[in-house]
Structures are given as C-alpha cells and as structure tokens.
Amino acid sequence: MAQTNFNDILRLAQDFIAIRSTQDNNKALEEVISLAIRQVPNFTIQHFKRNNKPSVLIHTEKPHTKHFKIILNAHLDVVPGDEDQFSPYIKNDKLFGRGAYDMKTGAAIMILLFKKIAKTVGYPLALQLVTEEEASGHDGTKLQIEKGITADFVIAGESSEFAIKTKAKGVVWMKVTLHGKSSHGAYTWLGDNALQKMVTLVQKLNQAYPTPKISSWQTTINIAKIETPNSTFNKVPDTCTAWIDLRFIPEEEKDIIKNVRKILPLDTDVEIVFNEKPHFTDPDHHFIQQLQKIIQKNTGKKAPLIGAHGTTDLRFYSSLANIPGIEYGPKGGNAHGHNEWVDLKSLEQYYQILKQFLLSVK
C-alpha cells in the first residue's frame, strides 16, 4: 500500500476517534456518519434512521438496491470514555484512543478501501456504516435487514487479531429477584434475609457456570449487580435483585434460560431484559477458505478460526436472514479500556488482505 494511503487511513481514524460518538450524544453520531459519507462521494447512499441513530448503506448500484454479494459492516459508535481518550496519539507504533481498536481504525480502512475498489469489482459490493452497535444494534444493522438489505456474505471489521471469527456467543441479561421477610436488624431470627438467599443462589450459579481460568469456548455468567431496597443498616432486607449477564455458546441456545431457571427457587421473579441469539457461520464456507489462503500468503501464518465471546451485529444476519458472515480485523488491545490501541504495523497487511480478497471474489 502506498504511503499516502496509509496516511489517509491514519488521518481518518484519528478524526473519527476525536468525535465523541457515544450513544448519549446524537449530535456526535450525526457528525461521525457525515464525516464518513464525505469520504465516498459519487456513490449511491441509502440513509436509515430509528430513535435518532443514523446509519447508511453505500454502493455503486441503483438506488433502493437491496441485495449485494458482499457487505462490509462497520460501526462508528463507541462506549463512553474519559476526555483524554478522545484525543488520539501515536506511541511505539500504536495508535491510542477510544475506538482505535473497536473499531474506528477498521472502519477507516473499510471506507477507504471501498472507495478505491468498489467501482472495479465485478459484483455488487456495499459498505454498511452504523452508529448503534455498542447499544444493541437494533437501530442500525437490524433495521437495515428489516428493510430488506441482504447479502451473500458479510465481513464485520471488528477487532480479531487477524484471526477469523466464525461464531459468537449469544447473550441473556436477566434481573432475578428473591423474596424474604423484613425485620429489625437486631432480631434477625424474626426475618428472612433475601440478600443472604441471593448469596446462596450466586454460589449455585457459579458452580453451574464456573469462571474459566483462560479464554474458553463455554457458557459464562457474570453477576453485574446486587441490590436491596434497604436505605439503613438495621433492617433485614425482604427483597434482593441481581443483574445477571449470561454469555452462551450456540450449542446451548435452546436450553439456556430453562437451565438457569432450574437453579432458581420456585418463587423467584425473573425479568428478561435482553435476549440475543448467537452467531454461527460454517467454517467450511468457500469465502472463509479463500480468505484464509490470502491471509497465509500475506502473513506466512494460517489464520485460526475462532469464536467471539462478545456479541456483534453479525447475529442479525445469521438469525434473521440466514446470511453467513465473519469478524475480521487488525491487531490491537484494551477494547473498551482506558489505553485502547491498534497496532499500526498491522494496518497495511489488513488493507492488503481485504483488498486481495475482495478482488478475488467472482
């Protein structure tokens, strides 16, 4: 890749990072999507919006075209961060800043690569840019699919360390409330402490879904919050609520909620706050095999096929439209952390690999 192209990518990534495009900042979401659009003049642009969250689909086909051979999917929203995280800087061949790894640099590469080759490939290629992935994806990618947008294959430029993520865990968020009986804190035998019941329940849940020592393809559970209505020390709490975050593997999708309910006491109140399906694409898909060969040619290593512990917008393609897709992105670290970074040396390889793959598709 020519040096000028690398500088263009770096400049655009830094401009993206400098925009505080969090979910509570609709003005910034409009600003970041407008900046992206300005990079790709003279293309067809289909605009979408729901709940003030803008997204676009950019391509070379006629307006209102809905099916494409390949869609490049990228999100331009980020999770909240400190003020200094929106001032990108370079140190030790790394670009630091909120969204550097997840996934504004990957988005910049997809945008500029699309601009360069979209009019030369011999098939319908689309660039899908959304601003609501970090919240739920319902008002971005899911909305576009509901409006009829489909593809033969989707590549999400999420962080992947050059591995190919062919599947991702599903997620269930539930609020679990246990009941007891209140009493004066000095006379505990007259009450029934709901918080102590919750401690016992948490122990049982952790036994059923133990935390792995290392990255492992298994269902995990995170107790995110425990609360009672108490506002004083000297009262036995009569209710206790826990916020539970389940990340389940596709193999357990059918029975995951039922299996958790078996562990809960019969009088437990359960509120399902969020229930999103896992993602799965056959690792033998010919596009995946084709991409693997190109990666190996450029890096000298065979890209592993792995599962993603977090969920992405690809789940909507697989669950709503049975469309295969993968996550594939550059190297970096500390996604959602304070010192989020992307490896600058990996960007040239990522650009070239994506370019060679897209040009090889027939």
Q: What is the structure's pLDDT at 201?
A: 98
Helices (H), the chain: 3-17, 26-38, 105-117, 141-146, 194-208, 256-263, 286-299, 314-321, 344-360
CATH of 3-168+278-360, picked from 3.90.1010.10, 3.30.230.70, 3.40.630.10, 3.90.1170.50, is 3.40.630.10
Q: What is the structure's pLDDT at 5?
A: 77
Alpha-carbon distance values, 147 to 18, 75, 128, 142, 189 (Å): 31, 18, 13, 9, 59
Given a cut of 90, whether residue 1 has pLDDT beyond it is no
* C-alpha to C-alpha distance for 158 and 125, rounded to whole angstroms: 19
pLDDT one-digit tens code per residue, 302-349? 999 999 998 899 999 999 999 999 999 999 999 999 999 999 999 999
Confidence of residue 2 (pLDDT cuts 50, 70, 90): very low
Q: Is 165 helix (H, G, I), strand (E, B) or coil?
A: strand
Given a cut of 90, whether residue 142 has pLDDT beyond it is yes
* C-alpha to C-alpha distance for 284 and 195, rounded to whole angstroms: 49
Main-chain dihedrals φ then ψ at residue 180, nearest 5 degrees? -145, -140
Given a cut of 60, whether residue 289 has pLDDT beyond it is yes
* C-alpha to C-alpha distance for 67 and 61, rounded to whole angstroms: 10
> In the chain, what are the domain boundaries?
3-168+278-360, 170-276
Average pLDDT of the segment spanning 223-250: 97
Given a cut of 60, whether residue 63 has pLDDT beyond it is yes
Comparison of pLDDT for 362 and 143, the residue scoring more: 143
Let me know: does 305 contact 284? Beta carbons within 8 Å: no
Main-chain dihedrals φ then ψ at residue 36, nearest 5 degrees? -65, -45
Average pLDDT of the segment spanning 91-102: 97
CATH topology classification for 170-276 = Alpha-Beta Plaits (3.30.70)
Confidence of residue 242 (pLDDT cuts 50, 70, 90): very high
* C-alpha to C-alpha distance for 339 and 354, rounded to whole angstroms: 27
pTM for this structure? 0.91
Given a cut of 70, whether residue 3 has pLDDT beyond it is no
CA dihedral 213, 80, 337, 216 (to 10 degrees): 20
